[in-house]
Copies of this chain bind each other. A is one copy, B any other.
Amino acid sequence: MNARDWWVDEDVLESIAIGAGILGTGGGGNPYNGKLQVRHLIEQHGPVRIVVPDAVPDAAVVVSVGGMGAPTVSIERIPRGDESVVALRALERFQGRQADYLVPGEIGGSNSMRPMSVSLLTGLPVIDGDAMGRAFPELQMDTFSIYGVPVAPAALADPHHNAVVWQRVMDPLTLERQARAVTIQMGGSAGFAFPMMSGAELKRTVIPMTMTFARQIGDVVRDARRMHRDPVAEVASQCGGQVLFEGKIVDVERRMSAGFARGALMLDGLADYRSQRMTIDFQNENLIARLDGEVVAIVPDLICLVDRDTAAPVTTEVLRYGLRVAVLGIPAPAILKTPIALQAVGPAAFGYDDAYVPLSGTYGGDLLASQPGS
Protein backbone atom coordinates (compact mmCIF):
# COMPACT_ATOMS: atom_id res chain seq x y z
CA MET A 1 0.00 0.00 0.00
CA ASN A 2 1.05 3.51 -0.82
CA ALA A 3 -0.31 6.86 0.33
CA ARG A 4 -1.14 7.80 -3.28
CA ASP A 5 -3.06 4.59 -4.07
CA TRP A 6 -6.72 5.16 -4.72
CA TRP A 7 -9.74 2.94 -5.01
CA VAL A 8 -12.48 2.37 -7.52
CA ASP A 9 -15.85 1.80 -5.90
CA GLU A 10 -19.18 1.75 -7.68
CA ASP A 11 -19.47 5.52 -7.79
CA VAL A 12 -15.94 6.11 -9.09
CA LEU A 13 -16.57 3.34 -11.63
CA GLU A 14 -19.47 5.35 -13.11
CA SER A 15 -17.17 8.31 -13.71
CA ILE A 16 -14.39 6.20 -15.22
CA ALA A 17 -16.86 4.56 -17.60
CA ILE A 18 -17.99 7.94 -18.90
CA GLY A 19 -14.46 9.25 -19.24
CA ALA A 20 -13.18 6.05 -20.85
CA GLY A 21 -16.08 6.12 -23.27
CA ILE A 22 -15.17 9.63 -24.38
CA LEU A 23 -11.45 8.78 -24.59
CA GLY A 24 -12.41 5.78 -26.72
CA THR A 25 -12.82 8.20 -29.65
CA GLY A 26 -15.69 6.11 -30.96
CA GLY A 27 -13.92 2.76 -30.61
CA GLY A 28 -12.40 0.62 -27.95
CA GLY A 29 -15.82 -0.87 -27.35
CA ASN A 30 -18.58 0.62 -25.24
CA PRO A 31 -17.48 0.37 -21.59
CA TYR A 32 -21.08 -0.40 -20.57
CA ASN A 33 -20.91 -4.20 -20.44
CA GLY A 34 -17.47 -4.10 -18.87
CA LYS A 35 -18.73 -1.65 -16.28
CA LEU A 36 -21.59 -3.96 -15.29
CA GLN A 37 -19.13 -6.78 -14.90
CA VAL A 38 -16.74 -4.74 -12.75
CA ARG A 39 -19.63 -3.45 -10.67
CA HIS A 40 -20.81 -6.98 -10.04
CA LEU A 41 -17.29 -7.99 -9.00
CA ILE A 42 -16.93 -4.92 -6.75
CA GLU A 43 -20.11 -6.00 -4.95
CA GLN A 44 -18.48 -9.35 -4.28
CA HIS A 45 -14.87 -8.39 -3.62
CA GLY A 46 -14.82 -4.69 -2.69
CA PRO A 47 -13.15 -1.79 -4.54
CA VAL A 48 -10.27 -1.99 -7.05
CA ARG A 49 -6.87 -0.74 -5.93
CA ILE A 50 -5.19 1.72 -8.33
CA VAL A 51 -1.46 2.40 -8.02
CA VAL A 52 0.36 5.36 -9.55
CA PRO A 53 3.28 4.32 -11.78
CA ASP A 54 5.88 6.11 -9.63
CA ALA A 55 5.10 3.75 -6.78
CA VAL A 56 5.96 0.60 -8.77
CA PRO A 57 9.38 -0.96 -7.97
CA ASP A 58 11.75 -1.29 -10.94
CA ALA A 59 11.89 -5.07 -10.55
CA ALA A 60 8.14 -5.61 -10.30
CA VAL A 61 6.38 -7.71 -12.95
CA VAL A 62 3.66 -5.79 -14.79
CA VAL A 63 1.29 -7.31 -17.35
CA SER A 64 -1.08 -5.52 -19.67
CA VAL A 65 -4.46 -7.24 -20.03
CA GLY A 66 -7.48 -6.47 -22.14
CA GLY A 67 -9.78 -7.61 -24.89
CA MET A 68 -9.14 -7.86 -28.61
CA GLY A 69 -11.77 -7.79 -31.33
CA ALA A 70 -14.26 -5.59 -33.14
CA PRO A 71 -16.58 -3.73 -30.74
CA THR A 72 -19.50 -4.64 -33.02
CA VAL A 73 -18.96 -8.25 -31.97
CA SER A 74 -18.60 -7.71 -28.25
CA ILE A 75 -21.98 -6.00 -28.06
CA GLU A 76 -23.68 -9.21 -29.08
CA ARG A 77 -21.25 -11.65 -27.60
CA ILE A 78 -20.57 -10.38 -24.13
CA PRO A 79 -17.11 -11.38 -22.94
CA ARG A 80 -17.25 -13.68 -19.92
CA GLY A 81 -14.58 -11.56 -18.31
CA ASP A 82 -12.29 -14.39 -17.40
CA GLU A 83 -10.75 -14.78 -20.87
CA SER A 84 -8.07 -12.28 -19.88
CA VAL A 85 -7.43 -14.14 -16.64
CA VAL A 86 -6.89 -17.33 -18.65
CA ALA A 87 -4.53 -15.42 -20.95
CA LEU A 88 -2.68 -13.98 -17.93
CA ARG A 89 -2.24 -17.42 -16.38
CA ALA A 90 -1.00 -18.86 -19.69
CA LEU A 91 1.55 -16.07 -19.92
CA GLU A 92 2.69 -16.51 -16.32
CA ARG A 93 3.03 -20.25 -16.79
CA PHE A 94 5.02 -19.78 -19.97
CA GLN A 95 7.37 -17.20 -18.48
CA GLY A 96 7.62 -18.87 -15.08
CA ARG A 97 6.93 -15.54 -13.38
CA GLN A 98 3.89 -14.22 -11.53
CA ALA A 99 2.47 -10.78 -12.27
CA ASP A 100 2.57 -8.13 -9.51
CA TYR A 101 0.54 -5.43 -11.29
CA LEU A 102 -1.92 -5.12 -14.15
CA VAL A 103 -1.96 -2.20 -16.57
CA PRO A 104 -4.58 -1.24 -19.15
CA GLY A 105 -3.30 -1.35 -22.72
CA GLU A 106 -5.79 1.34 -23.71
CA ILE A 107 -7.78 3.63 -21.46
CA GLY A 108 -10.36 4.28 -24.17
CA GLY A 109 -13.47 2.10 -24.19
CA SER A 110 -13.98 -1.33 -22.71
CA ASN A 111 -10.29 -2.01 -22.22
CA SER A 112 -10.38 0.49 -19.36
CA MET A 113 -12.70 -1.93 -17.57
CA ARG A 114 -11.08 -5.29 -18.30
CA PRO A 115 -8.00 -4.80 -16.07
CA MET A 116 -10.31 -4.00 -13.16
CA SER A 117 -12.23 -7.24 -13.73
CA VAL A 118 -8.96 -9.17 -13.83
CA SER A 119 -7.83 -7.28 -10.71
CA LEU A 120 -10.88 -8.36 -8.77
CA LEU A 121 -10.52 -11.96 -9.96
CA THR A 122 -6.81 -12.15 -9.11
CA GLY A 123 -6.18 -9.62 -6.33
CA LEU A 124 -3.57 -7.74 -8.40
CA PRO A 125 -3.69 -3.91 -8.36
CA VAL A 126 -4.14 -1.83 -11.51
CA ILE A 127 -1.68 0.84 -12.67
CA ASP A 128 -2.95 4.41 -13.08
CA GLY A 129 -1.91 4.74 -16.72
CA ASP A 130 -2.12 3.03 -20.08
CA ALA A 131 -0.29 2.74 -23.40
CA MET A 132 -2.57 4.77 -25.69
CA GLY A 133 -4.17 7.58 -23.67
CA ARG A 134 -7.20 6.82 -25.85
CA ALA A 135 -8.17 3.80 -28.00
CA PHE A 136 -6.53 2.57 -31.19
CA PRO A 137 -7.66 -0.22 -33.52
CA GLU A 138 -4.46 -2.28 -33.58
CA LEU A 139 -2.50 -3.72 -30.73
CA GLN A 140 0.93 -2.56 -31.89
CA MET A 141 -0.27 1.05 -31.62
CA ASP A 142 0.79 1.38 -28.01
CA THR A 143 3.61 3.12 -26.21
CA PHE A 144 4.92 -0.14 -24.76
CA SER A 145 5.83 -1.52 -28.16
CA ILE A 146 6.56 1.87 -29.76
CA TYR A 147 9.20 2.45 -27.10
CA GLY A 148 10.77 -0.98 -27.26
CA VAL A 149 9.12 -3.27 -24.71
CA PRO A 150 9.24 -6.73 -26.38
CA VAL A 151 5.74 -7.85 -27.35
CA ALA A 152 6.46 -11.55 -26.85
CA PRO A 153 5.62 -13.67 -25.07
CA ALA A 154 1.98 -12.73 -25.55
CA ALA A 155 -1.11 -14.74 -24.69
CA LEU A 156 -4.64 -14.84 -26.11
CA ALA A 157 -7.61 -16.80 -24.75
CA ASP A 158 -11.31 -17.19 -25.51
CA PRO A 159 -14.46 -17.99 -23.51
CA HIS A 160 -13.89 -21.71 -24.06
CA HIS A 161 -10.48 -21.25 -22.43
CA ASN A 162 -8.60 -21.98 -25.62
CA ALA A 163 -5.24 -20.37 -24.87
CA VAL A 164 -2.47 -19.44 -27.29
CA VAL A 165 0.99 -18.12 -26.39
CA TRP A 166 3.26 -16.38 -28.87
CA GLN A 167 6.72 -17.36 -27.73
CA ARG A 168 8.57 -15.16 -30.20
CA VAL A 169 7.39 -12.62 -32.76
CA MET A 170 9.64 -10.66 -35.06
CA ASP A 171 7.76 -7.39 -34.58
CA PRO A 172 4.55 -6.05 -33.06
CA LEU A 173 2.74 -5.93 -36.41
CA THR A 174 3.33 -9.66 -36.84
CA LEU A 175 1.66 -10.26 -33.49
CA GLU A 176 -1.19 -7.94 -34.47
CA ARG A 177 -1.83 -9.88 -37.68
CA GLN A 178 -1.51 -13.36 -36.18
CA ALA A 179 -3.45 -12.54 -33.02
CA ARG A 180 -6.16 -10.80 -35.05
CA ALA A 181 -6.48 -13.91 -37.22
CA VAL A 182 -6.83 -16.12 -34.15
CA THR A 183 -9.31 -13.68 -32.58
CA ILE A 184 -11.51 -13.95 -35.67
CA GLN A 185 -11.34 -17.75 -35.37
CA MET A 186 -12.20 -17.39 -31.68
CA GLY A 187 -15.49 -15.83 -32.73
CA GLY A 188 -14.41 -12.20 -33.00
CA SER A 189 -13.39 -11.40 -29.47
CA ALA A 190 -10.67 -12.66 -27.14
CA GLY A 191 -8.82 -11.73 -23.98
CA PHE A 192 -5.12 -10.91 -24.17
CA ALA A 193 -2.23 -10.66 -21.76
CA PHE A 194 0.93 -8.93 -23.01
CA PRO A 195 3.44 -7.51 -22.70
CA MET A 196 4.94 -8.77 -19.47
CA MET A 197 7.40 -6.06 -18.44
CA SER A 198 9.42 -4.79 -15.52
CA GLY A 199 8.38 -1.87 -13.37
CA ALA A 200 11.29 0.06 -14.90
CA GLU A 201 10.00 -0.61 -18.43
CA LEU A 202 6.52 0.41 -17.37
CA LYS A 203 7.65 3.72 -15.94
CA ARG A 204 9.68 4.50 -19.06
CA THR A 205 6.81 3.86 -21.50
CA VAL A 206 3.44 4.25 -19.81
CA ILE A 207 1.18 7.27 -20.27
CA PRO A 208 0.68 8.10 -16.60
CA MET A 209 -2.50 9.04 -14.74
CA THR A 210 -4.97 8.16 -17.48
CA MET A 211 -7.25 6.24 -15.11
CA THR A 212 -7.35 9.46 -13.10
CA PHE A 213 -8.02 11.46 -16.28
CA ALA A 214 -10.93 9.20 -17.25
CA ARG A 215 -12.36 9.47 -13.74
CA GLN A 216 -12.10 13.27 -13.77
CA ILE A 217 -13.73 13.60 -17.18
CA GLY A 218 -16.60 11.54 -15.82
CA ASP A 219 -16.77 13.66 -12.67
CA VAL A 220 -16.96 16.87 -14.75
CA VAL A 221 -19.74 15.43 -16.90
CA ARG A 222 -21.73 14.17 -13.93
CA ASP A 223 -21.32 17.40 -11.95
CA ALA A 224 -22.41 19.52 -14.91
CA ARG A 225 -25.44 17.31 -15.50
CA ARG A 226 -26.37 17.49 -11.84
CA MET A 227 -25.99 21.26 -11.74
CA HIS A 228 -27.76 21.77 -15.09
CA ARG A 229 -24.69 23.28 -16.69
CA ASP A 230 -23.45 22.33 -20.18
CA PRO A 231 -21.39 19.13 -19.80
CA VAL A 232 -20.02 19.30 -23.34
CA ALA A 233 -18.56 22.75 -22.91
CA GLU A 234 -17.13 21.94 -19.48
CA VAL A 235 -15.41 18.76 -20.59
CA ALA A 236 -13.95 20.46 -23.65
CA SER A 237 -12.53 23.33 -21.68
CA GLN A 238 -11.17 21.35 -18.74
CA CYS A 239 -9.59 18.40 -20.54
CA GLY A 240 -7.39 20.49 -22.82
CA GLY A 241 -9.63 20.10 -25.85
CA GLN A 242 -12.17 22.02 -27.87
CA VAL A 243 -15.58 21.59 -29.45
CA LEU A 244 -14.94 21.02 -33.17
CA PHE A 245 -18.54 20.73 -34.33
CA GLU A 246 -22.13 20.23 -33.35
CA GLY A 247 -24.42 18.45 -35.74
CA LYS A 248 -26.88 15.77 -36.67
CA ILE A 249 -25.77 12.47 -38.15
CA VAL A 250 -27.16 12.30 -41.68
CA ASP A 251 -25.28 9.33 -43.08
CA VAL A 252 -23.30 6.37 -41.78
CA GLU A 253 -21.40 4.06 -44.06
CA ARG A 254 -20.14 0.99 -42.24
CA ARG A 255 -18.64 -2.37 -43.10
CA MET A 256 -16.87 -5.20 -41.31
CA SER A 257 -13.48 -5.80 -42.86
CA ALA A 258 -10.70 -8.06 -41.58
CA GLY A 259 -12.14 -7.94 -38.07
CA PHE A 260 -12.55 -4.16 -37.97
CA ALA A 261 -15.59 -1.91 -38.15
CA ARG A 262 -14.60 0.55 -40.87
CA GLY A 263 -16.59 3.36 -42.34
CA ALA A 264 -17.42 7.03 -42.32
CA LEU A 265 -20.14 9.27 -40.99
CA MET A 266 -21.53 12.59 -42.16
CA LEU A 267 -22.89 15.35 -39.93
CA ASP A 268 -25.03 18.37 -40.84
CA GLY A 269 -24.26 21.33 -38.60
CA LEU A 270 -26.53 22.70 -35.91
CA ALA A 271 -26.57 26.11 -34.14
CA ASP A 272 -23.23 27.87 -34.73
CA TYR A 273 -22.32 25.23 -37.33
CA ARG A 274 -25.51 25.51 -39.39
CA SER A 275 -24.90 25.08 -43.13
CA GLN A 276 -21.56 23.45 -42.43
CA ARG A 277 -20.88 19.75 -42.87
CA MET A 278 -18.41 17.43 -41.13
CA THR A 279 -17.29 13.98 -42.24
CA ILE A 280 -15.41 11.59 -39.97
CA ASP A 281 -13.64 8.41 -41.10
CA PHE A 282 -13.31 5.59 -38.58
CA GLN A 283 -11.62 2.22 -38.22
CA ASN A 284 -13.18 1.21 -34.90
CA GLU A 285 -11.89 4.64 -33.72
CA ASN A 286 -12.49 8.04 -35.33
CA LEU A 287 -9.43 8.87 -37.40
CA ILE A 288 -9.94 12.07 -39.34
CA ALA A 289 -12.49 14.88 -39.17
CA ARG A 290 -13.06 17.16 -42.14
CA LEU A 291 -15.10 20.35 -41.91
CA ASP A 292 -16.45 21.27 -45.34
CA GLY A 293 -13.63 19.17 -46.79
CA GLU A 294 -10.82 20.66 -44.70
CA VAL A 295 -9.05 18.48 -42.15
CA VAL A 296 -9.65 19.93 -38.70
CA ALA A 297 -8.43 17.01 -36.57
CA ILE A 298 -6.47 13.88 -37.39
CA VAL A 299 -5.11 10.86 -35.59
CA PRO A 300 -3.38 10.54 -33.10
CA ASP A 301 -5.33 13.52 -31.75
CA LEU A 302 -8.59 12.42 -30.19
CA ILE A 303 -11.83 12.92 -32.13
CA CYS A 304 -14.63 12.19 -29.68
CA LEU A 305 -18.34 12.06 -30.41
CA VAL A 306 -20.59 12.81 -27.47
CA ASP A 307 -24.31 13.34 -27.05
CA ARG A 308 -24.89 17.05 -27.60
CA ASP A 309 -26.97 17.44 -24.45
CA THR A 310 -25.55 14.94 -21.94
CA ALA A 311 -21.94 14.50 -23.18
CA ALA A 312 -22.49 10.71 -23.05
CA PRO A 313 -19.95 9.05 -25.35
CA VAL A 314 -21.27 7.93 -28.74
CA THR A 315 -19.38 4.88 -29.93
CA THR A 316 -18.96 3.76 -33.52
CA GLU A 317 -21.29 0.80 -33.19
CA VAL A 318 -24.31 2.91 -32.13
CA LEU A 319 -23.97 5.59 -34.81
CA ARG A 320 -27.28 6.14 -36.56
CA TYR A 321 -29.19 8.70 -38.54
CA GLY A 322 -30.57 11.58 -36.53
CA LEU A 323 -28.31 11.46 -33.47
CA ARG A 324 -27.38 14.98 -32.37
CA VAL A 325 -23.79 15.04 -31.28
CA ALA A 326 -20.91 17.27 -30.41
CA VAL A 327 -17.46 16.48 -31.78
CA LEU A 328 -14.67 17.11 -29.32
CA GLY A 329 -11.02 17.41 -30.31
CA ILE A 330 -8.48 16.57 -27.60
CA PRO A 331 -4.74 16.83 -28.26
CA ALA A 332 -2.89 13.51 -28.08
CA PRO A 333 -0.43 12.90 -25.24
CA ALA A 334 3.03 14.25 -26.12
CA ILE A 335 4.50 10.72 -26.06
CA LEU A 336 2.32 9.87 -29.10
CA LYS A 337 3.58 12.86 -31.11
CA THR A 338 7.26 11.97 -31.36
CA PRO A 339 8.52 10.98 -34.83
CA ILE A 340 8.81 7.32 -33.80
CA ALA A 341 5.31 7.31 -32.34
CA LEU A 342 3.79 8.99 -35.38
CA GLN A 343 5.16 6.17 -37.52
CA ALA A 344 2.96 3.79 -35.54
CA VAL A 345 -0.10 5.94 -34.87
CA GLY A 346 0.10 8.93 -37.21
CA PRO A 347 -2.02 9.50 -40.33
CA ALA A 348 0.24 7.40 -42.59
CA ALA A 349 -0.18 4.35 -40.34
CA PHE A 350 -3.87 4.45 -41.27
CA GLY A 351 -3.28 5.04 -44.96
CA TYR A 352 -3.75 8.80 -45.06
CA ASP A 353 -1.47 11.10 -47.03
CA ASP A 354 -2.45 14.06 -44.87
CA ALA A 355 0.23 15.49 -42.62
CA TYR A 356 -0.28 15.42 -38.89
CA VAL A 357 -1.27 18.93 -37.81
CA PRO A 358 -1.62 18.82 -34.04
CA LEU A 359 -4.53 20.37 -32.23
CA SER A 360 -3.44 23.13 -29.87
CA GLY A 361 -3.43 22.46 -26.15
CA THR A 362 -2.24 19.73 -23.84
CA TYR A 363 -3.69 16.27 -23.26
CA GLY A 364 -5.45 16.37 -19.93
CA GLY A 365 -5.42 20.15 -19.69
CA ASP A 366 -6.41 21.54 -16.31
CA LEU A 367 -7.58 18.16 -15.09
CA LEU A 368 -4.21 16.41 -15.25
CA ALA A 369 -2.18 19.56 -14.53
CA SER A 370 -3.76 19.71 -11.09
CA GLN A 371 -2.67 16.14 -10.32
CA PRO A 372 0.26 15.46 -8.06
CA GLY A 373 2.60 13.05 -9.79
CA SER A 374 1.50 13.86 -13.34
Which A residues from 112 to 166 make CB contacts under 8 A with B? Answer: 155, 160-166
The residue of chain B having its C-beta at the shortest distance from the C-beta of A90 within the complex is B167
What is the copy number of this chain in the assembly?
A: 2
With a cutoff of 8 Å between Cβ atoms, the chain B residues found around residue A177 in the complex are 185
The residue of chain B having its C-beta at the shortest distance from the C-beta of A167 within the complex is B163
User: A155-196 CB contact bits vs B (8 Å, 1 = yes)?
Assistant: 100001111111111100010011001101110000000000
Tell me which of A174, A181, A184 has the highest count of chain B C-beta atoms within 10 A of its own C-beta.
A181
Tell me whether chain A's interface is mostly helix, strand or loop, or mixed: mixed
Partner of A164, one of B160, B162, B166, B186: B166
B162 near A170 (CB under 8 angstroms)?
Answer: yes
A226 at the interface (CB under 8 A from B): no
With the chains together, A164 CA to B90 CA distance in Å?
Answer: 12
A93 at the interface (CB under 8 A from B): yes
Partner of A168, one of B162, B184, B185, B186: B162
With the chains together, A164 CA to B178 CA distance in Å?
Answer: 9
Partner of A182, one of B163, B165, B182: B182
Partner of A162, one of B165, B174, B182: B174
A sample of 17 more A-B contacts (CB under 8 A), given A164-B165, A177-B185, is A90-B168, A93-B167, A94-B165, A94-B167, A160-B170, A161-B170, A162-B168, A162-B169, A162-B174, A162-B178, A163-B167, A164-B166, A164-B167, A165-B165, A165-B166, A178-B185, A178-B186
